[in-house]
Structure 1
Amino acid sequence: MATGSARMRLAIVGGGASAVTLVDALARSTPREKIKVSIFEPRADPGPGRPYQQDADGALINRPAEAMSIRHTEPLDFRNWLREAGNRGEFPSVDPEARFQPRWLFGVYLRRRLASAAARLAAGGSTVETSESTVEDVLPVDGGLRILTSTGVTQTNDHVVMCLGTPRPADLYGLSGRPGFVADPYPLAGPLPADEPVTVLGSNLSAVDIAVALLRRGHTAPVRLMSRNGALPSVRCRPAVILPDEARELAEAVRRTPSAALWTTVRRLLRARLAAHGASADEMVRDLAVGEPAAGRLTRQLGRQDAEDCWRAVLLPLLDPVGELFWQRLPPRTRQSFLGRHHTRLATVLNPMPPATAALLLEALRTGALEVHAGVTAVTARPTGGFTVTADGRDHHAGVLLNAVRATPYDPEEPAGRLLARLTASGLVRPHPCGGVYVDFATNRVLGPAPGLYALGHPTAGDLYYANAGSLLGISARAERIVARILSSPVTGAAAVAHSSTLTIGGRLDG
């Protein structure tokens, strides 16, 4: 490990939640060397990223508060922070004991944790700076990796970590720029006509977020969620109690079973564990099937949210400890087959919504304030204005169309997709057929000719699976692996050549 007066240079591409976990992990590692950290984030407010900006009060985090810490070894950090803030009289309208908290509040937590991590690093002689720009390219040079930014900054670093966040919604029908089409609905607090029907493309968590924000602000015209399968996210259950022997048996099977037989073996073991907890196979079939009316599905699942024998309550705590290793050990063809055949349906289970959200949707369905339609096959812009959405053979008119279509690959027209396309063309990264880029499972280093290039979060989905790559506790554990690798690497003596100034981060985030 390098010591003394040498200064290591670390560039972080993106300034959202993944970047915060990385800076926090670095600060908690108390590095002996002096490190200059540069965060490149086009938003003026680093920390919240795309999902956790100042938003509508009714937009809730879809994961419980105890699973939203940026420190996987301290899963209650967010909840404890919220309690301390409440004791100081902050956020008087927020219940610190609520299991599901507002998105904007988590954004405040991210900003403040980033500021405290920057201050801790500064106390040890390191610095954290931010530049309101995007990274357009990364080039290997003698002494490290040179980044080129949209504002003309050229900087050479020892290490670069891509924290690109989740892709923006996919514009499947080429509607960007059309009047009335909202390509990216976040933040959800934007103005919409209160007396006009609003159509949302998609029925996933993002679509549900939009519907809830509209319903809570008193939108008087119907909100329509329209997608190919019409499947809403499942209702989150309280997790069942999983005994250590159960988790250990599954973990051992994942580690020891030959990869060719792994899919069959793990499915058999999961079925056995579900049966041991009294979980109904019929309920599993119904939850994974398409075509069940949305109101009936919500009613059924809300009635089972506290049932320990619900298969969803058993599955998630069983899979959480071994999910990413299981995915990484599956043969590539099996992974691709799973994504094509099962991912969309299983995503409704792996990414459930809070019960309070489900109850609000159910009431709106019963009153006609909300509609859910399946079978979308086409969306076209009308010459006279608005859009025609074709679903189940019928044409539906939409004056306002909000896009919530799940995007797995990054759009090459967006900064993250543009950067990955350039890195692919230069041979620094290899696109993974299951999403993102190839990374080393143990360290998150991008597999390729640049030893100092890493990825964190969604760009690692091909090797870690989307549910695991997007779990904040999982990202925190991965951030610690990156930090350990970086701090054990020799400093190359990379020198910064900046053509525009960067701003110190700490003073901007306190408050």
Structure 2
Amino acid sequence: MSSLPRIAVIGGGASAVCLLDALVQERDLRPGVITVFEPSRHLWRGRPYQPDLEVVRVNATPDDMSVRAGDNQHLAEWLTTRQLFVGGAAAYTDPLSGSHFVPRAVYGDYLEQSARAALMTLLQRDWRVELVRQRAEYATPAANGGLKLHTARGDVHEVDYAVLSVGAGRPADHYSLAGQEGYLMEPYPVGRTLSAVDPEADVAVIGSGLTAVDVVLALNATGHQGKIRLFSRRGVLPGVRQKQIHHRLRYFTPAHFRGVAARGETRTLQDLVTLMSAELAAAGESIEAVRAEIDSLRTEDPIVRLRRQLGEVDSPSIGLRILQQAVPDAGPDVWPLLTEQDKNALLQRYDRALMSLCCPMPPGNAAVLLSLVESGQVELVNGLEGVESVPGGGFHIGTARGDHRSAVVINATNARMRKVNELAAPLVNSLVAAGLAEPHPRGGVHVERATSRLTVGSTPNPRLYALGDPAAGSLFFTFGVQSLVDRAVDIVRAIREDSAVLTTGHDVLQSA
């Protein structure tokens, strides 16, 4: 290892911004070299936060979207400062809940400025900063235990530590429609991609999650008059976020589960239910009400459920809010404590429900969606079986309830359904081939929970880390901003500790 730590950040989206800010907050790490690899023209914004229509919003309030660990007001204060110059904050207020949900593009501005501020601070502390506007195509081991990163142009960057922070990438083309006229495989940014859609055309949207809702809202905002159908296998819509409350978790906490891990203990699904019951009971709530809400995805018509949840935005019951706080906060710490059998059972039975409830849409968005359904312009169709192009133009969509025709198909499936970002696959494959990474059957690579280090045969590598989507198979709920922030802090701490050991050894050798 060189006398100064050389850290590579592979990917320049939201997770990279969280990592840079965590580096700034770590004052005990000796200044070194930070190299960010990102070929996209939308540096720091990633796929979801490009310049776009204002109607497309993030689905969480500012205190859950801060990139600064321990400071949930960081984004709110940035918005206040921004309002002094450009105004607009009042327009972000949800009409039903009173909470703020900023446009995705504005959040992208925040990410950009946070990254620049972090890099400027690092420069002032004698770090060397390099932005490589190329993709790290493949990696080979370096003699000192680090890594050589090779770009498409043939450049080689030798580093001591590397953090895989690539995003999910584009949604997969499940029905092999790429290149067909009228097929939009990537909906973002919707302001650009949807501008080519005939306002009178019948539109088929593949998916019914948050991206599909963004597509509907964008079409509506641009005056689309044609029919819009959301096709999916199960017809599960995102839940509706209730009015914000502040609750302090007492039992179902990351600290509790980290203590369990430190003692070498495990937990079962029933243990989690028991602990959640205690958490709810302490707040005067019942586990039965939460269980009924989870079961409603299988038993209740999705539009009836949408209408009911809209009517419960101001509900005095906080059981669902506790679940929505506990799962993202503690999910990454809970997951490694379960057996593979329990993990598979949880994913099979509850993954859709938990994602719907714990990644809910703003009430204002839900109200617009419901109004379009009630007007007859938007329809939700479940039982999707297949989509194929039709000779002469258009598409045939087959469902368990009948067939449909559409002139336009928009792919709004979850990009995280793809095992590995297709653009990052060569790099990941090279790490696997070199024995530096082990692919996880649920996606991404195996990582150690406490440090996010890549593992091979359960042995962690102190030089390689995964943040966000590359760790999705090993951890649960890796994509929320607060999860990214927490994992970024873990990674920086682990690099600091390893660097201190290696630097001490280097200094001893130099003085010998």
Q: Confirm or deny a common fold (TM above 0.5).
A: yes
Q: Decide which moves more: 307-316 or 35-44.
A: 307-316
Q: Residue 365 of structure 1: which of 373, 376, 401 is its match?
A: 373
Structure 1: distance between partners of 2:182 and 2:492: 45
Equivalent residue pairs, number: 487
- Mapped to 2, the partners of 1:356 and 1:282 lie a distance apart of 24
Q: Is the 8 A contact 2:444 2:471 kept in 1?
A: yes
Equivalent of residue 205 in structure 2, options 194, 200, 209: 200
Q: Which has the higher contact order (CA 8 A, sep 6+)?
A: 1
Which string of whole-angstrom CA distances, capped at 9 and with x for unpartnered residues, describes residues 333-380 of structure 1? Answer: 211222233212321112111101101101111112211110001111
| 1:126 pairs with 2:127 | yes
3-state SS of the aligned residue for 2:60?
A: coil
Q: Call closer, same or farther: CA 1:241–1:122 in 2, change over 3 Å.
A: closer
User: In the aligned structure 2, how far is the partner of 1:136 from the partner of 1:379?
Assistant: 33
Residues 381-429 of structure 1 deviation map (CA, whole Å, 9 limit, x = unaligned):
1122121111124111121111112244546682123322332233221
The separation in 2 between residues aligned to 1:363 and 1:412, in whole angstroms, is 37
Q: For residues 244 and 380 of structure 1, what CA distance do their matches in structure 2 show?
A: 48
- Structure 1, residues 240-265: CA drift from partner, whole Å, max 9, x if none? 55455444699369828986652112
2:188 corresponds in structure 1 to: 186
Residues 162 and 32 of structure 1, relative CA distance in 2, 3 Å threshold: closer
2:71 is the alignment partner of 1:36: no
How is 1:107-506 mapped onto 2 (pairs within 5 angstroms)? 107-143=108-144, 144-190=146-192, 191=195, 192-238=197-243, 242=247, 245-247=250-252, 251=256, 255=260, 261-274=267-280, 277-279=284-286, 281=288, 284-285=291-292, 287-288=294-295, 289-290=297-298, 292-309=300-317, 311-408=319-416, 410=418, 414-448=422-456, 450-465=461-476, 467=477, 469-490=478-499
- 3-state SS of the aligned residue for 2:83? helix
The whole-number CA distance in structure 1 between the counterparts of 2:419 and 2:337 is 28
| Cα distance in 2 for residues equivalent to 1:422 and 1:168 | 21
- Please tell me the residue identity of whatever aligns with 2:481: L
Q: Do 1:165 and 1:458's aligned partners in 2 also have CA atoms closer than 8 Å?
A: yes
Question: Counterpart amino acid of 2:335?
Answer: W
Aligned 8 A contact 1:169 1:403 in 2: yes
Superposed displacement of residue 301, structure 1? 0.2
From 24, 27, 36, the counterpart of 1:27: 24
- Which stretch shows the higher mean deviation, 335-344 or 10-19? 335-344
Partner amino acid, structure 2, of 1:186: Y
Q: Indicate how the Cα distance of structure 1 residues 242 and 30 shifts in structure 2: closer, same or farther if over 3 A, else same.
A: closer
Give the aligned residue type for 1:140: P
Partner of 2:508: none
SS at match of 1:165: coil
Gaps of 5+ in 1: 494-511
CA distance in structure 1 between the partners assigned to 2:421 and 2:121 by the alignment:
37
Aligned-CA RMSD value:
2.7
CA shift digits 1:51-79 (9 cap, x unpaired): 10001110000111110000131111111
Unaligned segments of structure 2, at least 5 residues = 94-98, 504-512
Other structure's SS at 1:415 match = coil
**Corresponding residue SS for 2:484:** helix
| 1:88-116 deviation digits (Å, cap 9, x = unpaired) | x2244764665111000000001011111
Residue type of the alignment partner of 2:108: G
Structure 2: how far apart are the matches of 1:13 and 1:279? 44
